[in-house]
């Protein structure tokens, strides 16, 4: 007899609610069984992935695979759904006796699958079996940013504008008009505050730069070891 056990957890995000489904398929018979598990929740299945592609056995409707005799097989997937979904979240669509030579979950875990097993002749099958050929992200050089974030650019532009205004009127400072003197004093105060802020930012940048350099050095040493 093949039975299905499940647990369901909902993760509520800002944009969507994701239902996490955990399944355990139990085969209490004395023969290996091929099963088809169908999803009963509304929404697109998000199966477990390896190297960016769904793991073997998964498709848009559910999972198909083999459970060895007197064994259990754990499965899990996610679905973007609304609340109050159907229970149970999945069902056994069909079962059939599987050839004893067909690899099962327990065979995979014990390393008993023939190493010369044919690779599925598709791009997805090759990536799933051999892995992603792209180099690790940490060894790919990142382009140097050429543009400051908009908020930083606007802040620096404001300081530059005040500095240019002061430089343009430096020879005319000392106005006799009360309103003009007030504006001059206000501009000086702003520039003094800008200078203090820039000093603080420069120190913060130096600290962060040193931490990044130390982290890179540690990572490089770790890779060499």
pLDDT digits (tens, 9 = 90+) for 183-195: 888 888 889 999 9
pLDDT digits (tens, 9 = 90+) for 116-170: 445 555 555 555 555 554 555 554 555 555 677 888 888 888 888 888 888 887 7
The class (CATH top level) of 2-134 is mainly beta
Q: What is the residue extent of each domain of the chain?
A: 2-134, 138-224
Helix, coil or strand: residue 154: helix
Angle value at C-alpha 132, between 128 and 134, nearest 5 degrees: 170
Q: Would you say the pTM of this structure is higher than 0.75?
A: no
* Helical packing angle, 150-169 and 178-224, nearest 10°: 140
| 4 contacts 25 by C-beta, under 8 angstroms | yes
The neighbour count for residue 23, using CB atoms within 10 Å, is 21
| 63 alpha carbon, distance to own chain's centre | 23
* Interatomic CA distance for residues 68 and 135, integer angstroms: 36
């Amino acid at each position: 007899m093949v039975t299905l056990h499940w647990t369901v957890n909902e993760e509520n995000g800002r944009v969507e609610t994701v239902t996490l489904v955990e399944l355990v398929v139990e085969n209490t018979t004395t023969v290996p069984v091929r099963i088809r598990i169908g999803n009963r929740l509304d929404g697109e299945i998000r199966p477990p992935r390896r190297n960016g592609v769904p793991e073997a056995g998964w498709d848009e409707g559910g999972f198909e695979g083999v459970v060895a005799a007197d064994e259990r097989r754990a499965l899990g997937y996610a679905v973007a759904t609304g609340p109050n979904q159907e229970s149970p979240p999945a069902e056994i669509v069909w079962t059939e006796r599987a050839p004893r030579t067909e690899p099962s979950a327990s065979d995979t875990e014990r390393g008993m699958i023939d190493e010369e097993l044919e690779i599925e002749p598709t791009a997805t099958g090759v990536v799933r079996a051999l892995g992603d050929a792209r180099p690790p992200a940490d060894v790919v050089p990142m382009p140097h940013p050429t543009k400051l974030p908009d908020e930083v650019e606007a802040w620096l532009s404001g300081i530059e504008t005040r500095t240019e205004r002061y430089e343009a009127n430096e020879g005319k400072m000392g106005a006799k008009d009360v309103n003009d003197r007030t504006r001059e004093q206000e501009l000086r105060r702003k520039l003094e505050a800008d200078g203090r802020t820039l000093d603080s930012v420069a120190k913060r940048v130096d600290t962060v730069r040193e931490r990044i350099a130390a982290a890179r050095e540690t990572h490089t040493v770790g890779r060499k070891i």
